[in-house]
Every structure is written in C-alpha cells, then in structure tokens.
Amino acid sequence: MTLTPRPLPIRALALCATLLILGGAAGILAGALGPWAIFRVFHNIEISLPGFVFLWGGLSLAVATLVFLGAYRSPLLCLLGALLVFRWTAEAERKVPERVKFQLAGAQLEAASSVNRLLDQFHIPDVQIADLNTPNPDLLGAGLGWTVKGAQVLLLGGLAGLPGDPVAVWLFTHAVRGRCRACGARWLLARRPRFCPACGTPAQLRGVRLCPHCHARARRGDRHCAACGTALPSALKNA
Ligand SMILES: [Zn+2]
Ligand SMILES: [Zn+2]
C-alpha cells in the first residue's frame, strides 16, 4: 500500500461504499432477527420463528456482525459476504418450510397421538396441531426478504468500494500481469511500463495504442500524439 493520498473520486466512492455496506449489514441484521417462518397451530395461534434459529439465518447474522466489527473496511470481504448470504437465503427459502413441517409432524405424532387414541375411543375427531398442507410460500416470514434486500445493498457497497479496497489493490499490484507480445515476458500491470523490461520492445497491451515516437498512450480516435504531436497511424501494429 502506498501512503500517497487517494484521489477525491476514490475517497467519495469509498465513503459511499461504506454507507451502503453498513446499511446493507443493518438490513441483513434486521432480516435475521425478523421472522423467517410464520405458521398457525391449533387453527388460531400464530407462531413466528426469527431467522437466527435456522442455520442459514444464524450464518447471515454472523456476516452482518462481522461487517460491523470491522469487515466494512474491506469491500472485497463484504462482497463475498453478500454472495454467501444470497446462497444461504436461497437455500432457506426452500428448506425453512420443510423444516417447519417436519417439526410440526413430529410434534403431532409425539404429543397428539396418545390424546387422539383416547379421543378415537369416544369417536371424537382427532386433535390436529397444525395444517401440514399449507403451501410452502405461506410459511415464509418477511424477515427472509429483508435479509435478501440487505445482501443486495451490501453487494452494491462491496462493488462500489472495490477500487479503494486494500486487498483488491494489493491483488492488482501483485498479481495482475501484462505480457510482451514480442518476447512473452510478463510484468505487473500496475507498473504501467512503456517498454518491455526484458527485450525493450514498446509494451503494448491489447487495445492500447502507443505513440511510435515518444511511446505515450494514445486514446481511441486520436490522430496525433497528445504528448509530442507525432501523427499516429490509424491502427498501430506491433513496433
Ligand atoms: Zn519483450
Ligand atoms: Zn508522442
């Protein structure tokens, strides 16, 4: 990491990213504390279960907590966290209703069967704890949706903060490499070399034109070099 102050647009973007990240984590937190499953027992008693009692909600809550504890400083980590939350909420959408029905069926068998056996002797209709035929989407609570929205905001924040992310910058400066078209040597892209450090050929990246005289970078549509005024060939081949 360099100690030079970062340019204003990057800092403004980083601030924006941090706000989005914290907002997204707050959404995930509220979602995981909110109801993920709502169902009725004995026809009129409504029970709601918060997200964190399920594995997927607990994991989402952990991501939000980590963001607040300091992960908000790394947009890259937040981005990964948001992707994980997407995965877990998608899984929860399918599996939470199954889990609820499974528990209800178990309770029905355990608690109600002895009572029902007694009732059967007197030809009284069985006690039903809950209606197991409820469609799966009807069993899902609003908290799951809040968690997904929070993860979307967290993802946006992570993307916005990527240019200023220390890990992403480190990866770019230490891992992303260019390649010399003449000799095949590789160099770190962050060095922005004008010549190949191995053979001295003007370093050309795909889609980038260099001035044949001073080797300054030309922009698309330039007819003359902005640095030295030399006329640029329309399509510069390898020098
Ligand atoms: Zn070379
Ligand atoms: Zn030039």
| Cβ atoms within 10 Å of 32's Cβ, excluding its own | 31
Asked if residue 176 is part of any domain, the answer here is no
Mean pLDDT across the chain: 85
| Cβ atoms within 10 Å of 58's Cβ, excluding its own | 14
**Structural domain span for residue 211:** 181-239
**Distance from the alpha carbon of residue 5 to the mean position of ligand 2, in angstroms:** 30
| Comparison of pLDDT for 122 and 25, the residue scoring more | 25
**Distance from the alpha carbon of residue 236 to the mean position of ligand 1, in angstroms:** 17
Instruction: Give the pair of three-digit tokens for residue 154.
Output: 């967290």
Question: How far from chain centre, in Å, is Cα 199?
Answer: 42
So what's the pLDDT on residue 207? 63
**Distance from the alpha carbon of residue 195 to the mean position of ligand 1, in angstroms:** 8
Ligand with minimal distance to 179 CA: 1
| Comparison of pLDDT for 11 and 139, the residue scoring more | 139
Same-domain check for residues 161 and 234: no
Instruction: Indicate the range of 12-26, 87-101, 111-125 predicted with least confidence.
Output: 111-125
Task: Check residue 94 and give left, alpha or beta (phi > 0: left; psi -120 to 50: alpha).
Answer: alpha
CA distances from 90 to 87, 152, 161 (A): 5, 13, 25
**Distance from the alpha carbon of residue 211 to the mean position of ligand 2, in angstroms:** 5
**Distance from the alpha carbon of residue 213 to the mean position of ligand 2, in angstroms:** 5
197, 186 Cβ separation under 8 angstroms: no
Same-domain check for residues 134 and 229: no
Q: Is the pLDDT of residue 239 over 60?
A: no
| Cβ atoms within 10 Å of 180's Cβ, excluding its own | 21
Sequence-separated (6 or more) residues with CB below 8 Å from residue 34: 50, 51, 141, 142, 143, 146, 147
**Distance from the alpha carbon of residue 179 to the mean position of ligand 1, in angstroms:** 8
Same-domain check for residues 189 and 163: no
| Comparison of pLDDT for 65 and 203, the residue scoring more | 65
So what's the pLDDT on residue 206? 59
pLDDT band at 107 (very low <50, low <70, confident <90, very high): confident
Same-domain check for residues 141 and 38: yes
Same-domain check for residues 196 and 130: no
| pLDDT tens by residue, 177-234 | 888 877 888 888 777 777 888 888 777 665 677 788 887 888 888 889 999 998 887 6
CA distances from 113 to 68, 99, 100 (A): 48, 21, 19
So what's the pLDDT on residue 235? 54
**Distance from the alpha carbon of residue 186 to the mean position of ligand 1, in angstroms:** 8
Same-domain check for residues 46 and 153: yes
**Distance from the alpha carbon of residue 218 to the mean position of ligand 2, in angstroms:** 8
- Bridge partners (DSSP) listed for residue 218: 209
- Bridge partners (DSSP) listed for residue 47: 39
Q: Is the pLDDT of residue 117 over 60?
A: yes
Same-domain check for residues 162 and 204: no
| Cβ atoms within 10 Å of 84's Cβ, excluding its own | 16
Ligand with minimal distance to 231 CA: 2
Ligand with minimal distance to 212 CA: 2
Task: Say how far apart CA 96 and CA 163 lie, in whole Å.
Answer: 37
So what's the pLDDT on residue 6? 66
Same-domain check for residues 61 and 102: yes
**Distance from the alpha carbon of residue 45 to the mean position of ligand 2, in angstroms:** 79
**Distance from the alpha carbon of residue 203 to the mean position of ligand 1, in angstroms:** 7
Ligand with minimal distance to 181 CA: 1
Domain count across the chain: 2
